[in-house]
Amino acid sequence: MTATHFRCHVAGETDQEKRNRQANWYYFRVDNASGREVVVDLVDLPGEYNYKPNRGAVTRDTVPVYSLDQKVWKHFDSVDYDDQTPRLRLRFTPQAASMWIAHVAPYTADHLARLLGEFRRHPHLERAVIGKTVEGRELLLLTVTNPAAAPKDKRVVWLMFRQHSWEAGSSWAADGALRFLLSAEPEAARLRDSTIVKILPMCDPDGVARGGVRFNFHGYDLNRNWDSLDAKRMPEIAAERKAVLDWVDAGNRLDIFLTLHNTETSEYLDGPPDPEGRHDALRDRLFRLLVDATAFDPSRPPRREDPTSTPGRRGRMNVVQGLWHDRKLPAFLIKQRIAFHRKLGRLPGVEDRQKFGADLVRALWRAVAW
């Protein structure tokens, strides 16, 4: 192109079969361009989702963010999208020596480590390592409760975040949830007294470190493959599944399990694929609480998950489908959009995700304490 006009291939990732390409993550730095207009064309966007062609997850609706210090992230005012190529064009003039640009505001392992460091002496937080990733990174399980409060009648809530590495908004919500749970707020103290909260804060740390999209080191989607366990190729799923099932098989209660995700333009809540609808009432109660008391902005009514994500193929169950298949557990999935948010009246930012995390915990608590 020119010295200040760049055409950039969005690398994306494919799965273990070299299928289901996703190109919805990018994160790069522009140096030494202060005061000069720069144009960046993001291309090679089309891919697949669940074996169906996808025109691309980067569109005119997915406005990227930028930062001058990697701390404060803001959305671009506008983008130029060509749906024929397809291509997303960014035109900007940096106001500092370095400028960072990303699909969504990044949340790395360092963010999580700093968060846990803030609360390392908190008496109501327990940290355990339940396994390691393909590349040897620790998989954490956090437990928040007041151990001095009688445990017999405590409700038990499980939360899962960052199964897909591009979905940094999920981690920002986890950050907000944990800050609320460990805060001095009276409501948080009551919650810790009456509830055990188990948190899987970062389910694909290898992908987060690599700048990946939705597959682990060997190409396996960590929110599929819950019916094709392989501790060597998918140690992340094996460890997470074992932690949940060991808990319930030991006779402990599990009142609700929820995994949080991001999507580009849709937002919804799904429940277990139970043909008898045993957990429909819990799902509908949670849905109402989310709509009434959080920024949750559903694009459709709540529904039951299908038994599998791809009929006829082994290894296509997500965590909700897998936990129902294995133990008939009340597992749910929320997806939050990264595009324009009608309730907020703007594109959602880091503070919005953190607040939703805190509000989500409150909603779950009220749903199971009904």
* pLDDT bracket for residue 152 (50, 70, 90): confident
The answer regarding whether domain 109-368 maps to CATH 3.40.630.10 reads: yes
In degrees, rounded to 5, the angle at the alpha carbon of residue 26 between the alpha carbons of residues 25 and 32 is: 170
Percent of the chain at pLDDT above 90? 96
* Angle in degrees, 0-180, between the axes of helices 350-368 and 168-181, rounded to the nearest 10: 60
Tokens 């459709």 found at: 300
What CATH number does domain 5-102 carry, 2.60.40.3120, 3.40.50.300, 3.40.462.10, 2.40.170.20?
2.60.40.3120
- What's the full length of the chain, in residues? 370
| Residue 370 confidence (pLDDT) | 77
Contact 110, 137 (CB under 8 A): no
| Residue 17 confidence (pLDDT) | 96
Q: pTM value?
A: 0.97
| Residue 30 confidence (pLDDT) | 96
Contact 289, 369 (CB under 8 A): no
Alpha-carbon distance of 223 to 237, in angstroms, equals 8
What are the residue ranges of CATH 2.60.40.3120 in the chain?
Answer: 5-102
Mean pLDDT for 172-186 is 98
> CA 5 from chain center: how many Å?
33
Mean pLDDT for 277-290 is 98
Burial letters 294-309, b for 16+ CB under 10 A, else e:
bbbbeeeebebbebbb
| Six-digit token string for 48 | 């697949």
- Across the chain, mean pLDDT equals 97
* DSSP three-state, residue 67: strand
Q: In what order do the strands lie in the sheet with 98-102?
A: 27-31, 98-102, 65-67, 74-75
What are the residue ranges of CATH 3.40.630.10 in the chain?
Answer: 109-368
Contact 115, 59 (CB under 8 A): no
| Residue 261 confidence (pLDDT) | 98
| Residue 153 confidence (pLDDT) | 85
| Six-digit token string for 113 | 């480590």
Q: What is the pLDDT of residues 18-71, one digit of tens each?
A: 999 999 999 999 999 999 999 999 999 999 999 999 888 999 999 999 999 999
CB neighbour class for 340 (10 Å; exposed up to 12, middle 13-18, buried from 19): middle
Distant-in-sequence, close-in-space partners of 224: CB < 8 Å, separation ≥ 6: 309, 310, 315, 316, 317, 318
| Residue 167 confidence (pLDDT) | 98
Q: What is the pLDDT of residues 63-77, one digit of tens each?
A: 999 999 999 999 999
Contact 131, 213 (CB under 8 A): no
The CA-to-CA distance between both ends of the chain, in Å, stands at 61
Alpha-carbon distance of 193 to 189, in angstroms, equals 6
Kindly write down the DSSP assignment for every residue of 76-121, as one continuous string: -S--EEETTTTEEEEEE--SSSEEEEESS----HHHHHHHHHHTTT
**Selection from 194, 200, 198 nearest residue 155 by Cα:** 194
| Residue 31 confidence (pLDDT) | 96
In degrees, rounded to 5, the angle at the alpha carbon of residue 187 between the alpha carbons of residues 186 and 192 is: 95
Task: Provide Rg for the chain, Cα atoms.
Answer: 21
| Residue 185 confidence (pLDDT) | 98
Alpha-carbon distance of 307 to 297, in angstroms, equals 25
| Residue 150 confidence (pLDDT) | 76
Residue 1 has pLDDT above 80, yes or no: no
